[in-house]
Amino acid sequence: MKKTLLSKMIASAVILGFVSTPAMSAVRMKLSHNQSVQHPVHISMQYFAERAKVLSKGDVLIRIYPDASLGDQKDSLEQVQNGAIALAKSNASELEVFHKPYSVFNYPYIFNDSNHFYKTLFSPIGKDILASSESKGFIGIAYYDAGARSFYAKKPIKSPADLKGMKIRVQPSKTAIEMLTVMGANPTPLSFGELYTSLQQGVVDGAENNPTALTLNRHGEVAKFYSLDEHTMVPDVLVMSTKVWNKLSDANKKAILQAAEESTNKMRTLWTASEKVELDKAKKMGVSVVAVDKKPFQEAVKPIFDKLKVTEPATYEQVEKIRALGR
């Protein structure tokens, strides 16, 4: 009688919707990033999480942790590698330390414009780089636009000569450090979370990033000149733990990749709209936006490519392939 009663109760619960097998078996994931909830990349990743849920029919549930609440980009990457968290947003500069092929995106003045940049990301070059790090504990699943990076400091930087002797914060990327060195600056690797205070206290004299750093991260409060040399276009990258990826069903893998690609396109739209808005906000904060002649900067970095051609011919060839996509 007890078994019969229990069976009837379960059957009734299923009919009434009290038992939900998909919810009980859902794959729950954490996604870490270091930006605020107002940043376009956060909004794009929210869209990614929503689409992954829909496309997987509720089987993939992603919770986003912004503002480096689970650790900075380096910490998050290490957690992804060991499977402690499923997903993290990084960028090609930080990823260069973990997987060398990402370094190709960090070289100065290799992209003509945004169209050339996106053409590269969606080309076999871009797709192969995303997939190539599986043995390193993570795979790339999406690129996000992070705009062009320019210098900001307490004085205008109109030519490489203005950088001489300046301590400029860079990401922990060999390529970024080399670029600042040939321009005459003293590259200073620092965590992004430490940068505001470091600018404020004079630990560094300046930094380089896109306009959102001035506004959403408030660096424009302590660095009043933004010089538009636009030396690099370094993509943000959403990566997933290989350990987590390998446990997913084929259907969920497909849903995640489709959601990721859709979120890349979402980010492109958001970034185009936000870049001008953030520059206008920076001006209202008292930041002077300085137009510069890019040619002296382009001339200054040529030794990087001359050296690369001799010491790393495979990387040089990849750079040339990227340049060819813009012709």
First to last CA, the chain: 79
Q: How many domains does the chain have?
A: 1
pLDDT one-digit tens code per residue, 298-318: 999 999 999 999 999 999 999
Residue 5 in this model has a pLDDT that exceeds 70? no
* pLDDT tens profile 238-292: 999 999 999 999 999 999 999 999 999 999 999 989 989 999 999 999 999 999 9
Q: Is residue 168 part of a domain?
A: yes
Q: Where are the beta strands (DSSP E) in the chain?
A: 27-32, 60-65, 87-91, 138-144, 149-153, 167-170, 186-189, 206-209, 225-232, 236-241, 288-291
Q: Is the pTM of this model over 0.85?
A: yes
The three state secondary structure string of 64-118 is EECCCCCCCHHHHHHHHHCCCCCEEEEEHHHHHHHCHHHHHHHCCCCCCCHHHHH
**Could you tell me what percent of the chain has a pLDDT over 90?**
89
Mean pLDDT, residues 163-170: 96
Distance CA(126)–CA(307), nearest Å, equals: 24
DSSP 173: -
Please report which confidence band the pLDDT of residue 145 belongs to, taking 50, 70 and 90 as the band edges: very high
In a domain, 158, yes or no: yes
**For residue 218, is it within any domain?**
yes
Is residue 17 situated within a structural domain?
no
Q: What's the mean pLDDT in 175-195?
A: 95
* Assigned domain for 132 exists: no
Helix (H) or strand (E) holding 21: helix 21-24
Q: Is 305 a member of any domain? A: yes
54 CB neighbour count, 10 Å cutoff:
12
Cα 237 to Cα 32, 89, 102, 139, 282: the distances in Å are 12, 6, 10, 10, 26
pLDDT at 208 over 60: yes
On whether residue 87 sits in a domain, the answer given is no
Distance CA 32, CA 217 (A): 17
Domain range for 161:
149-233+279-325
Residue 10, pLDDT score: 39
Query: Above pLDDT 70, what percent of the chain?
Result: 93
Is residue 15, in this structure, part of any structural domain at all? Answer: no
d(CA 299, CA 287): 27
pLDDT band, very low/low/confident/very high, at 24 (cuts 50, 70, 90):
low
The residues near 54 (Cβ < 8 Å, ≥ 6 apart) are none
- Give the mean pLDDT of 314-324: 97
CA nearest neighbour of 104 among 174, 190, 160, 151: 174
* Nearest CA-CA partner of 195 in 205, 183, 185: 205
CATH number, domain containing residue 184: 3.40.190.170
CA distances from 301 to 109, 145, 199, 287 (A): 9, 23, 25, 27
